[in-house]
């Protein structure tokens, strides 16, 4: 079933220097995840147990049989969001994403989206109202599709057997940041954002502000879990969906970020030492590099 997002619908993931966190280190190669080897440079994320956004903070996913991340959405506890979708919607751009701010109101946990990065064009979070449904177990994030159908997104939460099942934030610097999420069923999304250049234009063979979808396998290595990543086939960036029913509508995105992300790296593995952090190791030009990430959660 098609689940695209238009002006009435949306999908989110996580966010950036907009989180009000100081950047921590930068990578020596723009096409790779953040190379952060100095623990002293990790950003200090303030505790906020009284956040008015507490119920909605985290990463939520709506899936269908063809698109594991048909809609994936994350919100931070200081009112910022990231949105991405795997299927092409009306007046959208395949492989695009969105970052911005939102508010919680008396009637909606997510409302009043104001994007600062929007490479989805018209297929945007603007106008979305979503509510956390606490009457279900576990709670769902409920909102309406453009055809009026009510849908229920599920929250990604790490477990003992699947510590990867969550959304993760990887810092590069104040303008650049990376997002990853694992669904617990062998599918991942990765995106690199650059708020200083908020487009999908090619840069040295890669695209910032674009998504990479792929698969992973999870294995137990002594006292930790390790995920090995395989990006999906490259996305056809020429498909369009101007109006519902066009041939390009519902196209499923794969690897849309070109030479950025994990498709040009070797020996990629992601370690999950606990349920709050991950460590990414990869080889680039014969050199081993590492990056770290933090769980997107209410604090």
Is 62 in contact with 214 (CB distance < 8 Å)? no
pTM of the model: 0.81
Residue 171 binned pLDDT confidence (cut-offs 50, 70, 90): low
Q: Which two tokens stand for residue 15?
A: 């966010």
Residue 213: which domain range?
1-299
User: Of 122, 128, 115, whose CA–CA distance to 15 is shortest?
Assistant: 115
Number of domains in the chain: 1
55-70 tens-digit pLDDT? 899 999 999 889 999 9
User: Of 4, 115, 5, 142, whose CA–CA distance to 66 is shortest?
Assistant: 4
More confidently predicted of 201 and 267: 201
Mean pLDDT of the chain: 79
More confidently predicted of 29 and 76: 76
Give the C-alpha distances (Å, rounded to integers) separating 129 from 36, 106, 111, 149.
Answer: 36, 11, 5, 13
- DSSP assigned state of 252: B
Is the N-terminal amide bond of 138 cis, ω within 30° of 0?
Answer: yes
Q: Which two tokens stand for residue 205?
A: 């063979």
């Amino acid at each position: 079933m098609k689940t695209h997002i238009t002006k009435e619908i949306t999908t989110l993931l996580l966010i950036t220097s907009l989180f009000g966190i100081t950047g921590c280190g930068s990578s020596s190669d723009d096409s790779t995840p953040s190379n952060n080897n100095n623990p002293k440079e990790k950003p200090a994320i303030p505790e906020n147990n009284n956040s008015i956004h507490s119920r909605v903070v985290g990463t939520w996913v709506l899936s269908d049989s063809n698109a594991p991340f048909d809609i994936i959405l994350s919100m931070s506890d200081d009112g910022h969001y990231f949105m991405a979708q795997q299927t092409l919607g009306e007046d959208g751009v395949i492989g695009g994403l969105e970052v911005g701010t939102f508010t919680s109101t008396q009637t909606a946990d997510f409302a009043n989206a104001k994007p600062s990065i929007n490479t989805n064009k018209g297929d945007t979070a603007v106008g979305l109202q979503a509510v956390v449904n606490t009457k279900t177990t576990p709670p769902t994030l409920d909102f309406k599709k453009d055809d009026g159908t009510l849908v229920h997104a599920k929250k990604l939460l790490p477990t003992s057997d699947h510590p990867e099942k969550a959304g993760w934030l990887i810092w590069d610097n104040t303008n650049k940041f990376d997002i990853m999420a694992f669904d617990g069923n062998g599918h991942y999304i990765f995106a690199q954002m650059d708020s200083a250049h908020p487009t999908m234009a090619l840069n040295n063979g890669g695209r910032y502000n674009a998504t990479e979808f792929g698969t992973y396998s999870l294995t137990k290595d002594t006292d930790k879990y390790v995920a090995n990543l395989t990006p999906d086939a490259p996305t056809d960036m020429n498909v369009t969906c101007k109006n519902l029913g066009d041939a390009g509508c519902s196209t499923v995105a794969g690897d849309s970020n070109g030479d950025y992300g994990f498709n040009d790296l070797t020996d990629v593995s992601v370690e999950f030492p606990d349920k709050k952090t991950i460590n990414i190791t990869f080889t680039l030009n014969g050199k081993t590099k590492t990056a770290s990430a933090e769980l997107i959660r209410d604090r």
